[in-house]
Amino acid sequence: MRSLKPGWYVLAAVTVYAVVVSLLLFSRGDDRAGAQPVAGSGAAETPAATSRAPAGLWYPLPGARLPRSDSNLPGAPRPYRSGVSQGFDFVDGDLDVPVTYGGAVIAAADAQVIRADTTYAEMSRAEWDGLLQEVAEGATEQQLDKLRGRQVWLLTADGRTLRYGHLSAVASGVSNGRSVYRGQVIAYVGNSGTDAGVAGRDDGARLRFEIWSDEGGYFGEGQTPEQVRLAAASLFVGP
């Protein structure tokens, strides 16, 4: 039998070493591929692992839900001006929470302020009586604007405009061009643009809340009360 040369032993050892190292590297690669980020480790988490705030709008009054009465929903008749409501009316006794004069009104979404009536002046009695006579057969957009009283308008990232009406005051720091976050106090419940507001009383507190699309229609337009409630169930997410 022929004896093996020393070089063959070296070659065999190198081959075995290469095979072992390759197997170890392959095993580590599998471990890394199956590993999950550790919470708090600073590693990037997958979208499924991160918690995100639910999409949708918050109710404009903390703790509120939809009005119980159909007459306070969008599309409800308004005989005094031969028209229909273009938004939700939150009034005391028709919600699960009280609606009081001066109560906090919050932003329903992250948005930009595009209107804030910080210098609003109530109509005189003569102006109010004249306006009611003018709208008896139907109101123009300008007249409806007066009927909403003091207002704040917010523009959301998806192009919707949120209109808040009948406010008693605008919150400090809320002005045109400013950004607000969902849940931020932006104004206070009032009765501006109503008979009580014109008379200088603080009874009849209410909040008008309208949601307008970027195409110009309002939420609930042309829908029955049942359809409005069904659509609102997926629109509002809290708080």
pLDDT in tens, 108-130: 999 999 999 999 999 999 999 99
Please give the average per-residue pLDDT across 77-88, as a whole number: 97
- In CATH, what number does 57-238 get? 2.70.70.10
Domain boundaries, the chain: 1-35, 57-238
Residue that wins the pLDDT comparison between 209 and 45: 209
% the chain with pLDDT above 90: 76
Residues 6+ apart with CB under 8 A from 237: 54, 55, 56, 57, 58
Residues 6+ apart with CB under 8 A from 169: 102, 150, 187, 188, 190
Residue 25, pLDDT > 80, answer no
Residue that wins the pLDDT comparison between 43 and 125: 125
Kindly state the tokens that stand for 67: 């009005």
For residues 184-196, one letter each, b for 16 or more C-beta atoms within 10 angstroms of the residue's C-beta and e for the rest, the string is ebbbbbbbbbbeb
Residue 1 is predicted with a pLDDT of 46
Residue 54 is predicted with a pLDDT of 57
132-152 tens-digit pLDDT: 999 999 999 999 999 999 999
Residue 107, pLDDT > 70, answer yes
Residue 55 is predicted with a pLDDT of 79
What confidence tier does 11 reach under pLDDT thresholds 50, 70, 90?
A: very low
Kindly state the tokens that stand for 85: 């409501």
Residue 174, pLDDT > 50, answer yes
